[in-house]
């Protein structure tokens, strides 16, 4: 078992008790929610800026280039300069656009990803929302984003935007089935939809390893379907530049375009963090079997690495995998995209769930 030198429960409890000593219960709740909201807003902005820079560097490395190098050391301030540029750009709108829905759409997209981040267990004791239906909550709020995409495409009064939005809607609704069923495999193994319970069930091993072949199949399907659900390459049919200019956000400029851009990267973070939590134990360290010689000393060394380092390390690994997908494989056609889901991923998922249920009933897992 991991030692608790990096347990943040005491810190959060002390903050709550100190606020409760001077404020009423209602005021304490409001202040705590405000603090958590500010922290998440700052985290959202910093992670978004970092991921944009990281993708540029990863893309450059794959294509044998150097990437951003001008603004700041090794170009680390390039994304900040781009953000300032977008803030200063004029907000344009087509003459016949639906003004209210046009302005509302970017906020729906960004709020959906913001709500999903709140349920992520960053470390022991650092968990803002811990519902007993945590997996269902994340799937539900992340699915709200497609409404913003559909509104953006329809309200722009642009045929390219509309086609991109329809493609995105069909793609997200289709691949949400595979994401949900892949997660169903781990729900059956763990016996709970509460994220903290799923993390606790991996104290003696991550489900990716101790769940045998069904867990590995579910993980592969989850990564493929999640990449498609976030509209990233090679599944970026909704933003196909060669066909649709920029897809559903063709008519957006300035900060509204930045909202769509930022939400895409934060959705990628949410997907990777979700996968790291469910399949790789979130903040749980890597342990080896005690039957291996000197395993106790190895496991003790792993326990000294802070939980949030494990969480962000696993999440970063999955993000790097998604970036590698995008810059390696060619874009699929829309018929190939839907064929992959309905003829391959969905049937495999259904069979995998039956096999998982058999494994759990027979106790055939570590």
pLDDT band of residue 286 (cuts 50, 70, 90) is confident
Lowest mean pLDDT among 108-112, 184-188, 304-308: 304-308
Alpha helices in 63-119, H assignment, sequence order = 78-88, 99-117
Which pTM does this prediction carry? 0.89
Residues 253/353, Cβ–Cβ less than 8 Å? no
Task: State how far the Cα of 161 lies from the Cα of 153, in Å rounded to an integer.
Answer: 4
Residue 3: the pLDDT is 44
pLDDT band of residue 298 (cuts 50, 70, 90) is confident
* Mean pLDDT of the chain, nearest integer: 86
Task: State how far the Cα of 90 lies from the Cα of 259, in Å rounded to an integer.
Answer: 15
Phi and psi of 123, rounded to 5°? -165, 175
Residues 130/136, Cβ–Cβ less than 8 Å? no
* Both tokens assigned to 217: 């199949």
Residue 353: pLDDT over 80: yes
Task: State how far the Cα of 67 lies from the Cα of 183, in Å rounded to an integer.
Answer: 36
Residues 179/139, Cβ–Cβ less than 8 Å? yes
Residues 327/62, Cβ–Cβ less than 8 Å? yes
Phi and psi of 137, rounded to 5°? -60, -50
What would the pLDDT profile of 222-280 be if each residue is shown by its tens digit?
A: 999 999 888 887 888 777 666 666 678 788 888 888 888 888 889 899 999 999 999 99
pLDDT band of residue 4 (cuts 50, 70, 90) is low
Residue 57: the pLDDT is 92
Residue 327: pLDDT over 80: yes
Average pLDDT (27-36) is 89
Residue 345: the pLDDT is 93
């Amino acid at each position: 078992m991991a030692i608790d030198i990096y347990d943040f429960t005491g810190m959060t409890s002390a903050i709550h008790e100190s606020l409760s000593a001077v404020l009423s219960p209602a005021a304490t709740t409001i202040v705590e929610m405000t603090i958590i909201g500010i922290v998440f807003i700052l985290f959202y902005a910093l992670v978004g800026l970092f991921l944009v820079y990281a993708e540029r560097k990863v893309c450059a490395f794959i294509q044998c280039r150097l990437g951003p190098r001008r603004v700041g050391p090794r170009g680390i301030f390039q994304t900040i300069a781009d953000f300032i540029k977008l803030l200063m750009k004029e907000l344009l709108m087509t003459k016949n656009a639906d003004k209210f829905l046009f302005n509302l759409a970017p906020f729906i997209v960004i709020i959906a990803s913001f709500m999903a981040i709140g349920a992520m267990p960053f470390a022991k004791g650092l968990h803002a929302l811990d519902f007993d239906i945590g997996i269902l909550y994340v799937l539900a709020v992340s699915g709200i984003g497609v409404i913003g995409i559909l509104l953006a495409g329809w309200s722009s009064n642009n045929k390219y935007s509309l086609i991109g939005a329809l493609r995105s809607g069909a793609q997200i609704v289709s691949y949400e089935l595979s994401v949900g069923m892949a997660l169903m495999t781990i729900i059956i193994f763990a016996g709970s939809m509460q994220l903290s319970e799923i993390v606790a069930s991996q104290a003696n091993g991550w489900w990716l390893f101790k769940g045998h072949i069904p867990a590995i199949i579910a993980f592969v399907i989850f990564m493929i379907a999640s990449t498609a659900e976030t509209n990233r390459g090679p599944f970026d049919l909704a933003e196909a530049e060669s066909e649709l200019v920029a897809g559903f956000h063709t008519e957006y400029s300035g900060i509204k375009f930045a909202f769509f851009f930022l939400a895409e990267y934060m959705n990628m973070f949410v997907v990777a963090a979700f996968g790291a939590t469910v399949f790789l134990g979130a903040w749980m360290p890597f342990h080896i079997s005690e039957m291996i010689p000197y395993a106790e000393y190895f496991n003790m060394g792993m326990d000294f690495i802070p939980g949030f380092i494990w969480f962000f390390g696993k999440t970063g690994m999955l993000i790097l995998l998604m970036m590698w997908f995008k810059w390696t494989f060619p874009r699929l056609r829309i018929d190939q995209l839907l064929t992959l889901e309905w003829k391959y991923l969905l049937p495999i998922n259904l069979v995998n769930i039956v096999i998982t249920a058999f494994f759990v009933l027979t106790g055939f897992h570590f």
